[in-house]
Amino acid sequence: MIIDEVLKIGKTILKNAGLKSPILDSEILMSFVLNNSREFVLLNLNKNLERKKVIHFEDLITQRLKGKPIAYLIKKKDFWRHEFLIKEDVLIPRPDTETLIEEILNFTKSKHNQRILDIGVGSGCILLSVLKEKKDFQGIGVDISKKCISLSKANAQKLGLINRVKFFQSDIDNFANGKYDLIISNPPYIKKHDLKYLEKDIIEFEPKLALDGGLDGLSKIRKIIIKSSELIKKKGKFILEIGLDQKKNVKDLLNKNGFYIDKIVQDLAKNDRCIISTKI
Ligand code: GLN
């Protein structure tokens, strides 16, 4: 069979199952099978596809049909300006989180030699994106998940940042290592009872550990704010991603723990997404 025919089968299967982007998904999966770009796929539609590759493609389509996210199938995801390695049990980087990077780069424009701590570093996408842009910054990433730590190390290696970053597998409560100019975190903040309303692709495949914020959605945020107030330098900046309707509660928590609110930033969908504060 030629690539075009196989691709059409994939698109039809995904479309009939009601998936949101059957064409794009099939093309991305085909480019993964061919270990080449989407452009290559589209320019070579009339080329023959080896049987082994047809089977590989069909297997990926079957997994996608069950809702497995594309990033877990192709083991990578673009975030900000780089491609990150991704694996299951690690949260897939979200475009909304790029809001944090923009803000960090804005207020660190004239800053040098800053020490950054990322709490719940996950794939490393936030910390490593910032380090890549700010050549004299140093970073520490902490995560309770062993898989996250090994993946963020692999991403640091891939981006040539291994000399400026260290990772620790730890609960943040047990971490007492140094003082930081900048603390960043995208913690789990979904209310336990709301997890079931997340899209099927998310709730059935992404790690609950990275999503579940306890009964009020604030259990991890609360703990991170308290701990950050100890780990941050005076006048240090704290950048936190938050969920829908958490602005007021998180502002109060920050104020109570000695932070002054600088700014609340909305994402592209106009939801409050990021709170920037300064330790007084
Ligand atoms: N923004 C993510 C989602 O809606 C949640 C990430 C998080 O809890 N930190 O799926």
Assess whether 144 and 27 both reside in one domain. no
Greatest C-alpha distance within the chain: 66
Specify whether 96 is located in the same domain as 138: yes
Q: How many domains does the chain have?
A: 2
Rounded CA-CA distance 59/170 in Å is 36
Residue 269 Cα to ligand 1 midpoint, Å, equals: 14
Closest-CA residue to 16 (of 49, 64, 57, 54):
64
Beta bridge partners of 176: none
- Cα of 188 from ligand 1 centre, angstroms: 7
151/44 Cα distance (integer angstroms): 33
204 with 96, same domain: the answer is yes
- The CATH number assigned to the domain holding 273 equals 3.40.50.150
Cβ–ligand 1 distance for 126 under 6 Å, the answer: no
In a domain, 76, yes or no: no
Q: Is residue 71 part of a domain?
A: no
Domain that holds residue 108: 91-279
- Cβ of 94 closer than 6 Å to ligand 1, yes or no, is yes
Which H/E stretch holds residue 230?
helix 219-231
Atom of ligand 1 nearest to the CA of 202: 10
For the segment 149-199, what is each residue's pLDDT rounded down to a tens digit? 999 999 999 999 999 999 999 999 999 888 999 999 999 999 999 999 999
Name residue 79's beta-bridge partners: 82
Q: CA separation (Å) from 41 to 49, 113, 148?
A: 11, 44, 32
Q: How far is the CA of 35 from the centre of ligand 1 (A)?
A: 30
Question: Residue 103's pLDDT is what?
Answer: 96
Domain boundary residue, one of 51, 66, 81: 66
Is the minimum distance from the CB of 202 to ligand 1 under 6 angstroms?
A: yes
Residue among 126, 186, 200 to mutate when testing ligand 1 (max atoms within 8 A of CB): 186
Pocket test for ligand 1, best of 189, 196, 221 (most atoms within 8 A of CB): 189
What is the rounded CA–CA span in Å between residue 233 and residue 183? 10
End of a domain among 15, 49, 66?
66
Q: Give the Cα-Cα-Cα angle 205, 11, 96 (nearest 5 degrees).
A: 45
- The helix (run of H) or strand (run of E) holding residue 22 is helix 22-33
Q: Quote the tokens at residue 197.
A: 């309303």
> Which amino acid residue places its CA nearest to atom 9 of ligand 1?
188
Does 205 contact ligand 1 (Cβ within 6 A)? no
With a 6 A CB cut-off, is 190 part of the ligand 1 pocket? yes
Q: Collapse the DSSP code of 235 into the 3-class scheme (helix H, G, I; strand E, B; otherwise coil) and give the result.
A: strand
Q: What is the pLDDT of residue 177?
A: 87
Residue 85 lies in a domain: no
Total number of residues shown for the chain: 280
Segments of the chain scoring below 50 in pLDDT: none
